[in-house]
Amino acid sequence: MNVKTASLTDLTDAQLTSLVLSMGEPEYRVKQLRNQIYRGLAFSFEEMTDLPLALRQALEKVTPLHSLKATHQVVGQDGTIKTLFTLVDGNTVESALMGYPQASGRQRNTVCISTQAGCAIGCPFCATGQQGFKRNLTRGEIIDQVLYFANYLKNQNHTAQEITDKTASTLSNIVFMGMGEPMSNYDALWPAIETLNSPDGFRMGARNITISTSGLVPQIKRLSSEKLQVGLAVSLHAADNALRDKLVPINRKYPLEELIPACKEYYRATGRRVSFEYVLFKGINDSLPRARALAQLLRGLACHVNLIPANNTGDRTYQPPSPQTILAFERELKLNHINATLRQPRGQDIDAGCGQLRSRFVSETGSRKKTLNKV
Ligand code: SF4
């Protein structure tokens, strides 16, 4: 088996077993190894002290443990952490860790993961969309972002209570809303999710995993038929095709007449209500008639709308509306019996929108300015 270019997290169960057996080790070593990677969150072979030294050395010779390297990190005033990872081929992706304090005093930690380097969908308001598409991430590159943040949380200073609660010190949710269109990379995304959910893997509950999509109808149908029922979030941003064609160009291929029935099918098959993300852009999609059109479009569909004020990417076309306009839009949806929440923007001071940190890194590297912290 050629594993020279893969990481251990890139290997399927069968490949990992075959690798360990080929080194003359008994099969139970595979379980130990998986336990070290996904439960112990080991970041070096050296840490895996329950495995024989000879096996660790042999593994190190044929494959790296992980496939990406955290190179830069920024921390926002609200505690949001954005990390830039460099892949083996030099491409870069970013992910974010967001902490949400709960009424109980505990904390929920959500990690936002990238699935592609760049993105081919080309939404005009999105920094990633403007960078173009480089390549799909492998399953290992997807998994490794999660493990990186899980390890990061584990190694923070926690109070005894936090350690008992296992909340502040662990990840509670994974959302695939970072760089790229996750559904365009379904063949790597789904095995990564299976490993992240598996009892032999990271053990993240399917209900705590959400896939976001710009609206790839065939993949939404495929998701509806999966045994694991993960959440679905659709980036809607407009309730009519004319505007959505501009804001989310994949709409030209899969218009609302196809997208909404696919979302209904997902709900019928899984019993999970769909989240619709609606980014509010000043003077573009934030009027009361547009709120009513949105309510009309979603009538009869078990769903929730997340309203998100636009991020300021420096593009003067796509600005956030005033707070009054945002609240009026939300109120109009509620008056029309649509569940809606205004989502507080996170990490505003640290290039919160997906792809913004990478854009800054590229421009600062080019201009030799260095305001980003190295990890
Ligand atoms: S918003 Fe999402 S789908 Fe659209 S270009 Fe950006 S990363 Fe791609």
Domain identity same for 166 and 25: no
Q: Going along the chain, which residue ranges are E strands?
A: 68-75, 81-87, 92-101, 107-112, 116-118, 133-136, 173-176, 209-213, 231-235, 274-280, 303-309, 340-342, 373-374
Helix (H, G, I), strand (E, B) or coil at 25: coil
Residues 36, 125: one domain?
A: no
The answer to whether the CB of 121 is under 6 A from ligand 1 is: yes
pLDDT tens digits, residue range 261-307? Answer: 999 999 999 999 999 999 999 999 999 999 999 999 999 999 999 99
pLDDT of 372 over the 50 cut:
yes
Instruction: Kindly state the helix (H) or strand (E) to which residue 316 belongs, with its residue range.
Output: none
Separation of CA 320 and ligand 1 centre (Å): 18
Which residue, by CA, sits nearest to atom 5 of ligand 1?
129
Catalytic residue check, 265: no
SS3 60: helix
If DSSP codes are grouped into helix, strand and coil, which group holds residue 280? Answer: strand
* For residue 4, pLDDT beyond 60: no
The region, left, alpha or beta by phi > 0 then psi within -120 to 50, assigned to residue 118 is left
Question: Does residue 350 register a pLDDT over 70?
Answer: no
pLDDT of residue 357: 54
User: Which residue, of 19, 35, 62, is where some domain finishes?
Assistant: 62
pLDDT value at residue 370:
39
DSSP code for 344: P
The residue from 112, 119, 303, 354 that is catalytic is 354
Instruction: Please give the pLDDT value at position 167.
Output: 64
User: Which pLDDT band, with edges at 50, 70 and 90, does 369 fall under?
Assistant: very low
The proportion of the chain whose per-residue pLDDT surpasses 70, expressed as a percent, equals 86
What is the number of the ligand 1 atom nearest to the C-alpha of 214? 3
pLDDT over 90, % of the chain: 76
* Residue 368: predicted pLDDT: 37
354 is catalytic: yes
Per the listing, tokens 């072979």 go with 45
- Look at ligand 1, atom 4, and give the residue with the nearest C-alpha: 123
Q: What is the pLDDT of residue 168?
A: 66
Question: What is the structure's pLDDT at 2?
Answer: 41
Burial of 266 (0-12, 13-18, 19+ CB in 10 A): buried
Binned at pLDDT 50, 70 and 90, residue 166 comes out as low
178 lines ligand 1 (CB under 6 A): no
25, 94, 277, 330: which is the annotated catalytic residue? 94
The CATH number linked to 175 is: 3.20.20.70
Is the minimum distance from the CB of 119 to ligand 1 under 6 angstroms?
yes
Ligand 1 atom at shortest distance from the alpha carbon of 250:
3
Count: domains in the chain:
2
- Judge if 52 and 161 occupy the same domain: no
Q: 345 burial class (0-12, 13-18, 19+ CB within 10 angstroms)? A: middle
- Domain hosting 363: range is 68-374
